[in-house]
Amino acid sequence: MTLKERITSDTRDAMRARAAAKLSTLRLLQAAIKQREVDERRELADGDVVAVIERMLKQRRDSIEQFTAGRRLDLADAERAEVVILEAYLPQQMSPEEIDAAIDAAIGAAGSVTGPAAMGKLMAALKPALAGRADMAAVAARLKARLAV
């Protein structure tokens, strides 16, 4: 079963269970997937669906920060609930140790690359291996701290 089929099945289940919050989130996800399919004029593979989910998660996290800063905790809580639902469709996340090992491997493969100028080159090498399995903002922060040492 593809990820897209699983989302469709879970949408039907949420409809039957009358789970309004989950249903709303899954419908937003299906709309985002459909929009990307229309834009690109092709059926999305699981990797592409994961990219759509990651983009939606990033939007939700940004909204949570804004709502918290604006003291709208009710809206922030609603966004947090959507984050939990969306995260269920991501692949198993990598541990910090696995991320550090991937960073070490990328630095080793790049050779004697140091300083902030190497950041883009190393992130380009890390992204295909870690996309969908790690928060790329956290990976960038870990890499930046590593290069500053």
Host domain of residue 127 = 96-148
pLDDT (mean) for 85-103: 91
pLDDT over 70 at 112, yes or no = no
pLDDT over 80 at 114, yes or no = no
- pTM to 2 decimal places: 0.81
For residues 69 and 41, give the distance between their C-alpha atoms in angstroms, rounded to a whole number: 39
52 burial (CB, 10 Å; 0-12 / 13-18 / 19+) is buried
Least confident of 11-20, 21-30, 78-87, 125-134: 125-134
Question: Taking phi first (over 0 means left), then psi (-120 to 50 degrees means alpha), and beta for anything else, what does residue 93 get?
Answer: beta
Predicted local confidence at residue 135, as pLDDT: 84
Residues 135, 83, single domain; the answer is no
CATH number for the domain that contains residue 76: 1.10.1510.10
Residues 10, 83, single domain; the answer is yes
Predicted local confidence at residue 37, as pLDDT: 96
Beta carbons of 106 and 122 less than 8 angstroms apart: yes
Residues 24, 72, single domain; the answer is yes
* Better pLDDT: 123 or 68: 68
54 alpha-carbon distance from chain centroid: 3
Beta carbons of 89 and 3 less than 8 angstroms apart: yes
